[in-house]
Structure 1
Amino acid sequence: MDPIRILIADDHPLFRNGMHGLLDSVAETTVVGETTTGEEAIAQVETLRPHMILMDIKMPGINGIEATRAILAAHPGIKILMVTMLEDDELVFAAMRAGAHGYVLKGANQAEIMRAIHAIINGEAIFGLGIARRVLRFFWLIAIVRGIV
């Protein structure tokens, strides 16, 4: 099986370097490039042809949510995993509305990141445990308000 081609889009060099090292340490992934802004991520997709993008939300210029929306409009087959420090409900739902396939926090360990990558490549949506709990809580609250539960 060919390795999963990954583009890392994050403005923090330490995080990009760490993620690059993590992904290089496993045979099933290869990092095809790194970008520091949403604009760069959008521009590099055509050239680098990644299968997946690990996308930060807060970047200079076009943020990760807007970059996700633009990339998926032009390349709907690319998978996007939001990898961020932000647990804000509005950002989680904005990322989902933009078409992100998953959302994990930067504190996730290697096993969690690899599980998310594999799940998304296989067509699943995935959220880190803390994020999944927040999403479920949100839907439970809606169900209670609407009298469904």
Structure 2
Amino acid sequence: MCSNDSPSQKRDGATQPDESTQISRERLLSDYGASIDSLRNTKLPETRIEELVTLCVETQRRLDNDRGDGERTPALVTAVAEAMADLESATVVPEGEVPESRALEAGVPAEEYVLTAAERDDALNALSSLLFTAVETPPASPARTPGAAD
């Protein structure tokens, strides 16, 4: 076999991505499942958690049907950014100074949304992980028309 016959290289010299480095659909499904579990265990505002979980579940459903979801990715990235803004505006207190009643709804005054540094870090870790998963999600492939030539 000569070098021109190599299936891993295109005419312009670009090489095909190695399949071992591509993100598998199963891994993405697992990563979204892990993100859902992580989000539910954070002290993010409840409405943010539900919004993020809903977007994750919808993306999982599309991936499970062998379709990417490039349409949901911008919405998911936006929701993650809004959740990070919530965390940024939260009042951070030492572990022993957490009030008995804390407002965990989006849009409450920052002084009422109280977190410990560890709770904020846990939420940021969950959001960062979800953000990386969203970016790795392939765009939706174009719908195939029955009878169309490949």
Instruction: Check whether TM > 0.5.
Output: no
For Structure 1 versus Structure 2, the TM-score category normalised by the shorter chain is under 0.3
Q: Which has the larger radius of gyration?
A: 2
TM-score by length of 2: 0.26
Which structure is higher in helix share? 2
* TM superposition score normalised by structure 1: 0.26
Q: Which has the higher contact order (CA 8 A, sep 6+)?
A: 2
Higher strand share: 1
